[in-house]
Homo-oligomer: A and B are copies of this chain.
Amino acid sequence: MQHYFLNRTLTPGDQIGLPAEISHHLDRVLRSQVGDEVELVSSQQVVFKAQIDRIADRTVFVSIIEKLAVNVELPVSVTVVSGLSKRNKPELIVQKATEMGASKLIFVPMAWSVVKWAQKSDKKIKRLQEVALSAAEQSHRNVVPTVQYLDNLAALFNDPFDLKLVAYEESAKAGEAANLVKLVAGSQPGASIVAVFGPEGGISPTEIDQLSQNGFIPMGLGPRIMRTETAPLYFLAACSVLTELAGKLNKPANHDKI
């Protein structure tokens, strides 16, 4: 079933016209018919089942049928911070990180980044936010992750997070393997986690010092060297395994969460 995000509250029984872009997608791209069902997510992050009543003047009108007890969000809120990387890597990070449950994506220039966004950052972020929306629809998220640009790493240091991590290859080389598992598995439901990932060139020693002094704990991601766009995906999968799968061994099904 198609899944769209609306910028409003919803109540069963409501009859509404869908916004132009969603109407266009349902009518012109998918050739939907009266009677077809869709999932709509309210601004309260609640998913509703709706049914198409009529299509007129390029607008699709639906009736809200019922609230669905579906929550696919990670039990912890994960912010991924990526050093600026080349080509389509930021798009890949945003798309895949959204599928894997990230709450927020931050892009930041780092010492060893080989690209600069500067003037282009607004345009880049706008495009990446569209990628996040599309991936959130596709993976049936309750929330569209926000995408943000920061001028420098230091701008991160004022935000409060329950757990601050930085992926560091040298940690893995030194045999450090426990921090990720220990700290993420030990997080409380609702905890906010931020993890910093370097650009293609890696994280500079100065940046590691700066991050450490501001409470970021270095973590290894296993012994293999991963590309800049692969490491955040490994980390998000780890967060899911440790908080959703391993933590759920004796708990009821996810659909009972709401």
CB distance from A138 to the nearest CB of B (A): 7
Q: Mark A40-75, 1 if CB is under 8 A from B, else 0.
A: 000000000000000000000000000000011000
Evaluate contact between A237 and B248: CB separation under 8 angstroms: no
CB distance from A121 to the nearest CB of B (A): 26
CB distance from A167 to the nearest CB of B (A): 13
The listed residue (B71, B141, B238, B245) touching A178 by CB distance below 8 A is B245
Evaluate contact between B223 and A177: CB separation under 8 angstroms: no
Evaluate contact between A181 and B241: CB separation under 8 angstroms: yes
- Copies of this chain, whole number: 2
CB distance from A2 to the nearest CB of B (A): 12
Given contacts A99-B224, A178-B249, 12 further A-B contacts (CB under 8 A): A99-B227, A100-B234, A101-B222, A101-B224, A138-B227, A140-B225, A175-B254, A177-B249, A181-B241, A222-B245, A238-B238, A238-B241
CA distance A123 to B101 in the complex (A): 36
Evaluate contact between B233 and A138: CB separation under 8 angstroms: no
> Residue of B at shortest CB range from A72?
B223
Name the B residues within 8 Å of A175 (CB-CB): 252-256
The listed residue (B138, B178, B237, B246) touching A237 by CB distance below 8 A is B237
Evaluate contact between A139 and B237: CB separation under 8 angstroms: no
Evaluate contact between B99 and A182: CB separation under 8 angstroms: no
Evaluate contact between A241 and B242: CB separation under 8 angstroms: yes
> Residue of B at shortest CB range from A242?
B241
CB distance from A232 to the nearest CB of B (A): 11
Q: A226 in the interface, Cβ–Cβ < 8 Å? A: yes
Q: Mark A151-180, 1 if CB is under 8 A from B, else 0.
A: 000000000000000000000111101101
- Whether A248 touches B138, Cβ cut-off 8 Å, given contacts A100-B230, A100-B234, is no
Within 8 A of B (CB), among A210-236: 220-227, 230, 233-234
CB distance from A235 to the nearest CB of B (A): 8
Name the B residues within 8 Å of A255 (CB-CB): 173, 175, 223
CB distance from A46 to the nearest CB of B (A): 15
Q: A82 in the interface, Cβ–Cβ < 8 Å? A: no
Evaluate contact between B249 and A181: CB separation under 8 angstroms: yes
